[in-house]
């Protein structure tokens, strides 16, 4: 190993080792002092730190009541990662392929009859699927990859609760599925400021141009009002993209956090993820306007003290 590579890996490992859950507290309301930890019930959110992707997922799902609480025997499942960019996993532009592989296996263990994975990519879809490592991971785990590069795959749905976005075209696979799981990566984003669970919805629609020309932050919140909510939001924070998002320029733009955050509450998941992100790169949550707009649309809460949150360090 070259000295430069050794130093880079040593620095990244040091970042991961020094992280704590203190960043989640920064996301709490000023009047709050601590999370409400209730061991008797299934948590509203679980954050696990300090393991490899499959380990993090296994422990988080166990704490959330097990995968069978969310995926039933015979169901068709769609997993929606971020696969938007023609980048290798070390760039943290796309969801970690090991996490997707582990999640597919969990779904099949719960009795899913089919697990499908897709994204409406920004770069060439075939190169994104291949170079992200996700296509190979999906196939090896027994899942099915579908393209999202043609309007023929999408069907118009209405969004009666939307403010700016009243209807849009959503991928047919998602419409037809019994359930779906939202699996974004935690990263900086030039336009939306951050790309996490709410922003990941932009990969399920056909016309993203409308979002960018009609109040991007509001449209991101609006698309999340679609009646078919994910059964879980699983935020991949194993390696995050600190700057130059959404695709990054170099591996040095990333930080190894070795963390996973899971919740049914999409606003809370994004809020907690930004709290974690702030340990490696400062981001004022007020700049990420779609999160507050999502709360206004009653999609969830930014006040984590209202939730039963379980934090685990492996």
pLDDT of residue 22: 60
How many whole angstroms separate alpha carbon 151 and alpha carbon 217? 24
How many whole angstroms separate alpha carbon 161 and alpha carbon 205? 17
CATH number reported for the structural domain that contains residue 286 in this entry: 3.40.50.11440
> Nearest 5 degrees, angle CA 234-CA 133-CA 196?
30
How many whole angstroms separate alpha carbon 2 and alpha carbon 276? 31
Residue range 223-246, pLDDT digits in tens: 999 999 999 999 999 999 999 999
How many whole angstroms separate alpha carbon 77 and alpha carbon 248? 30
pLDDT of residue 279: 94
**Closest Cα to residue 55, out of 273, 296, 313, 249?**
313
- The whole-number mean pLDDT for each consecutive block of 10 residues of the chain, a chain of 314 residues, reads 39 45 48 41 95 98 98 98 98 98 98 98 98 98 98 98 98 98 98 97 97 97 98 98 96 97 98 96 97 98 96 95
pLDDT of residue 117: 98
pTM: 0.90
Q: What total number of domains does the chain contain?
A: 1
How many whole angstroms separate alpha carbon 113 and alpha carbon 115? 7
Of the chain, the end-to-end C-alpha distance in Å amounts to 28
Range of the domain at 47: 3-313
**How crowded is residue 50: how many other Cβ atoms within 10 Å of its Cβ?**
16
On the 0-12 / 13-18 / 19+ scale of CB atoms within 10 A, 42 is middle
DSSP string, the chain: --HHHHHHHHHHHHHHHH--THHHHTTS-TT--S-B--TTS--SEEEEESS-HHHHHHHHHHHTT-GGGTS-TT-EEEEEE---SS--GGG-SS--HHHHHHHHHHHHHTT-SEEEE----SS-HHHHHHHTSHHHHHHHTT-EE----SGGGEEEEE-TT-SS--EEEEEHHHHH-SEEEEEPEEEEETTTEEESTTGGGGGSBS--HHHHHS-HHHHHHHHTT-SS--SEEEEEEEEEE-SSTTT-SSGGGEEEEEEEEEES-HHHHHHHHHHHHTTTS---GGG-HHHHHHHHTTS--S-GGGSBEEEEE-
């Amino acid at each position: 190993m070259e000295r430069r590579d050794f130093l880079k890996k040593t620095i990244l490992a040091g970042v991961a080792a020094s992280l704590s859950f203190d960043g989640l507290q920064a996301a709490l309301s000023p009047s709050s002092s601590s999370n409400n930890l209730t061991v008797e019930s299934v948590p509203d959110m679980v954050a696990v730190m300090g393991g490899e992707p499959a380990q993090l997922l296994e422990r988080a799902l166990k704490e959330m009541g097990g995968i069978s609480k969310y995926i039933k025997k015979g169901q068709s499942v769609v997993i929606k990662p971020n696969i938007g960019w023609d980048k290798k996993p070390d760039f943290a532009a796309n969801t970690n392929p090991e996490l997707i592989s582990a999640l597919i296996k969990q779904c099949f263990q719960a009795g899913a009859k089919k697990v499908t994975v897709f994204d409406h990519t920004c770069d060439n879809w075939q190169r994104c699927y291949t170079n992200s490592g996700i296509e190979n991971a999906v196939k090896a785990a027994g899942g099915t990859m579908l393209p999202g590069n043609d309007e023929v795959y999408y069907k118009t749905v209405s969004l009666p609760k939307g403010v700016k976005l009243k209807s849009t075209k959503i991928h047919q696979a998602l419409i037809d599925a019994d359930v779906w799981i939202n699996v974004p990566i935690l990263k900086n984003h030039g336009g939306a400021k951050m790309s996490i669970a709410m922003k990941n919805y932009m990969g399920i629609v056909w016309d993203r141009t409308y979002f960018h020309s009609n109040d991007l932050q509001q449209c991101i919140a609006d698309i999340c009002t679609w009646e078919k909510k994910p059964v879980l939001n699983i935020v991949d924070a194993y390696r995050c993209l600190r700057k130059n998002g959404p695709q990054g320029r170099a591996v040095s733009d990333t930080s190894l956090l070795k963390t996973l955050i899971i919740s049914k509450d999409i606003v809370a998941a994004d809020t907690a993820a930004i709290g974690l992100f702030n340990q490696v790169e400062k981001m004022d949550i007020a700049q990420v306007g779609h999160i507050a707009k999502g709360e206004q649309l009653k999609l969830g809460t930014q006040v984590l003290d209202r939730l039963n949150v379980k934090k685990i360090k492996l």
